[in-house]
Structure 1
Amino acid sequence: MPVSAIRVRRLCTELSGVARTSELAELGVDAYSLRLAVDAGEVVRLREGVYGVADLPAEVQTAVRHGGRLGCLSRLGIDGVWLLEQPASVHVAMMRTGRRRFHSECRCITHWSDSRLAGPAVALDEALVQVLGCRGEEEFFVALESAMRKRLITRSGIERIRSRVPKVHRGLVGFARWDADSGLESLLRLRLRAHGLALASQIDIPGIGRVDFVLGDRLILEVDGKQNHVDGFDSLIGTEHARAAAASKRHKDLVRDAVAAAYGFETLRFDYALVVHDWPLVEAAILAKVDRGLHLRSRVAGRGR
């Protein structure tokens, strides 16, 4: 008697969502039952001898068809880790003894690994190590802090990463925080670190409220990762509401900056486009304030004498 399609799916799920025919055969699933499960839409054939549950994420299916496991940026994206740029291609982790399969419309990016892979996707700490080699320090750092903030990684996972990255990059792991509010804030801290500038993060200032950063003791840096403009014309009502919300936020920001000025603070405010795509301008604005000593109350007070 054939195994029901629902049971075949359940068995695949118990095997991390992807199973070889040999694994299913050991559990009593014959070729006829497997074919019925495919016809019923409960499982899909990913490549010869390998099947997966039908609702397996598309990126995972692509990685398995390629002959490996989901890795690097694509693995992080599954868990909603903050990325500077969404990957245009699926990143696949392959054991060095494995064989790539160039499937239909294959644009996969392959990462070779010496560690034994299990399941349809690599572990999160493995993916982060891959990001460092693939995309460099900045993408690695913002992804690491995002994973830490979301509690997707443990302290032991952090230590595994530290032990696996090159020594020159281990300081980045120690510099990472568990409470970074956004990837933009992570990027700002990292880039200013190169200038020897330390930022105090998420600071409550009496009379002003919580600010993203304070540099020195009087320069407030605010980073807004949300779009404050309207894209497209989906509906007139929706557009007007979005414009009103953006105008209200802009007004609140102006009031907040004015209150900060009344308390003796300087404020610089940046958005996503500035930090990511026009960093030289952001850098110049901050360094100009620092060069004039406007981040320190003692320097400003001294000028008044």
Structure 2
Amino acid sequence: MHWDSGRVRVGETPPTANVLLQMATCCGEDAFFATLESALRRSLLSPGALVWLRSRLPLAMRWLIGFARADADSGLESLIRLRLHRIGIEVRSQVQIDRVGEVDFVIGDRLIVEADGRENHERERERLKDLRRDAIAASGGYTTLRFTYALIVREWHLVRAAILGMMARGAHLLGSL
């Protein structure tokens, strides 16, 4: 049984802040953070609710409230940003690139990181659109790394290794290749 000091009534949906607090204590930092950013994107948390939530989170997790943003398009993007931050890699999110459009992340000057959800690559048309965007980006001097839901969620070590490997080769720096 879960319990906290929030106002929850039997038969009613609990406030979003209460649900997030339960997630933090039961599901861990990654799931909590992805859900927090989703709630922020959907404007489900008032400033007061954020203060309430932060004051009740375990001390080690309170920094996530300040780190969270409302512009993540998906939980996958939230996970990538959080996990890269943990290893000291800062990213720019939702970046507009001429002729390419908006990309999920850019590391440094020219390393694009894209998170493709489950549904994205089930349709060939979406896949071809992404490959075309990647080719246009490459013609402009960018390198694109594209990761699926399964890789991000279940095989983060491979995603991390790919990003670090490209950075070690300078793929994120202007004029390095």
TM tier relative to shorter chain: over 0.9
Change (3 A) 1:264 1:122: same
Q: Compute the displacement of 1:117 (Å).
A: 3.3
TM-score (norm 1): 0.55
Corresponding residue of 1:135 = 27
Structure 1 Cα separation of the partners of residues 58 and 125 of structure 2: 47
Change (3 A) 1:262 1:116: closer
Please say if residues 18 and 53 of structure 2, whose CA atoms lie closer than 8 Å, have aligned partners that are also in contact.
Answer: yes
CA deviation vs aligned residue, 1:77-103 (integer Å, no higher than 9, x gap): xxxxxxxxxxxxxxxxxxxxxxxxxxx
Please say if residues 6 and 18 of structure 2, whose CA atoms lie closer than 8 Å, have aligned partners that are also in contact.
Answer: no
Tell me which amino acid in the other structure corresponds to 2:133. R
Tell me which amino acid in the other structure corresponds to 2:27. R
Tell me which amino acid in the other structure corresponds to 2:145. L
- Runs of 4+ residues over 4 Å off in structure 1: none
- Which one of the candidate residues 105, 114, 123 is aligned to 1:222? 114
Please say if residues 92 and 107 of structure 2, whose CA atoms lie closer than 8 Å, have aligned partners that are also in contact.
Answer: yes
Map 1:22-61 → 2, pairs under 5 A: none
Corresponding residue of 1:84 = none
TM-score (norm 2): 0.92
Corresponding residue of 2:18 = 126
Q: Compute the displacement of 1:255 (Å).
A: 1.4
| Structure label with greater radius of gyration | 1
- Which one of the candidate residues 163, 169, 173 is aligned to 1:286? 163
Aligned length: 175
Q: Compute the displacement of 1:115 (Å).
A: 4.4
Structure 2 Cα separation of the partners of residues 291 and 253 of structure 1: 25
Tell me which amino acid in the other structure corresponds to 1:275. I
Map 1:1-305 → 2, pairs under 5 A: 110-115=1-6, 117-120=8-11, 121-227=13-119, 228-229=121-122, 246-298=123-175, 300=176
Q: Compute the displacement of 1:157 (Å).
A: 1.2
Corresponding residue of 1:232 = none
Structure 2 Cα separation of the partners of residues 223 and 255 of structure 1: 16
Structure number with higher relative contact order (C-alpha < 8 Å, ≥ 6 residues apart): 2
Q: Provide the alpha-carbon RMSD of the alignment.
A: 1.5
1:287 match: secondary structure? helix
Please say if residues 110 and 173 of structure 2, whose CA atoms lie closer than 8 Å, have aligned partners that are also in contact.
Answer: yes
Change (3 A) 1:173 1:112: same
Tell me which amino acid in the other structure corresponds to 2:28. G
CA deviation vs aligned residue, 1:97-153 (integer Å, no higher than 9, x gap): xxxxxxxxxxxxx11334453353322101101111101100100000001111111
